[in-house]
Copies of this chain bind each other. A is one copy, B any other.
Amino acid sequence: MNAAPLGFFDSGVGGLTVVRAVQELLPAEDIVYLGDTARLPYGSKSPETIRQFADEDSRFLISRGVKAIVVACNTATAHALPGLREKYRLPILGVIDAGVDAALANPDAGRIGIIATRGTIRSHAYQHALALRRTGLIIHATAAPLLVPLVEEDWIDHPATEVVLRTYLDPLVERGIDTLMLACTHYPLLIPVLRKLLPADVSLIDSATTCAEHLQRELARLDLLAPGDREGGLEIHLTDLSEEFEALARRFLKKAPGRIHRAVLGS
């Protein structure tokens, strides 16, 4: 048992989809969330820059006394996770392995589509994790950089979003994918539209629920779960505050985020 908070970081507020899934599964855990909104997005930036930012984010969380860190951002997981694990001694989890395990829990999964930011696709982190676990997979990875701005604009039901999604998805559907990995924490909000556009037999795997289940197993294994007789709190820190981020946080969390603090990161 360990009552210290869990730390989460993301480039912005997308990682709150992961927090929401974790709160449902592990309601006793206190959570400290850091969104680097002053420097978002990470998805279009270089590996070197993403690693530097992820390091600063981790140090902020460690200074708040967290017992473990969840990198609630696919791009940062893809580029920075191995380096962070080498540098810091507390458990650090990403969103990729959990998603890949969930996709391959289906023994028939063989043709995997991946949509993500350009940074995540470029890293080949998903492709590599998939290939390590099952040979003979056919993998189609597509960078879908316009989806984050469309989700952030709340244009989920706008005709433009369908046009954009068809452009990204049609080539994957033509290649007969049986599984689509939503490899960005913003994408769970697109699931209703994706369900409409994709054949019914394509499985959707999202980062949020799969990461929460993975976290639960890891905390149990390391005896780090919080005592169960309490209700955990959520403390949100953002490097840039604005009305938009607060409204977005509410949409990703599906409830009011409470008071949001301004974080200043050391360099």
Contacts and interface: CB of A to CB of B under 8 A. Distances in A.
Contacts of A150: 146
A170 B245 CA distance: 27
Contact of A146 (B39, B153, B167, B242): B153
> Binding site of A, secondary structure by majority: helix, strand, loop or mixed?
loop
A55 interface: no
A267 B265 CA distance: 11
Interface residues of A, number: 28
Interface of A: 37-39, 44-46, 48-49, 118, 145-146, 149-150, 152-153, 155, 158-160, 163-164, 167, 239-242, 244, 267
Contact of A44 (B44, B164, B242): B242
A118 B164 CA distance: 22
7 contacts: A44-B152, A44-B244, A45-B242, A46-B242, A145-B153, A146-B155, A267-B267
Given A39-B39, A145-B153, A46 B159 contact: no
Nearest to A49: B240
A149 B146 CA distance: 7
Contacts of A49: 38, 239-240
Kindly list the 4 A-B residue pairs having the minimum CB-CB distance in the complex, ordered from nearest. A160-B163, A49-B240, A46-B242, A149-B149
A46 B146 CA distance: 22
Contact of A163 (B149, B159, B244): B159
Nearest to A44: B244
A244 B244 CA distance: 27
Q: Which of A146, A152, A153 has the most C-beta atoms of chain B within 10 angstroms of its own C-beta?
A: A146
A246 to B, nearest CB: 11
A125 B118 CA distance: 34
Given A37-B45, A149-B149, A163-B163, 8 more contacts: A44-B152, A49-B240, A118-B244, A145-B149, A146-B155, A146-B160, A159-B163, A160-B167
A49 B158 CA distance: 30
A153 B142 CA distance: 14
A214 B45 CA distance: 33
A155 B241 CA distance: 30
A223 to B, nearest CB: 39
A14 to B, nearest CB: 14
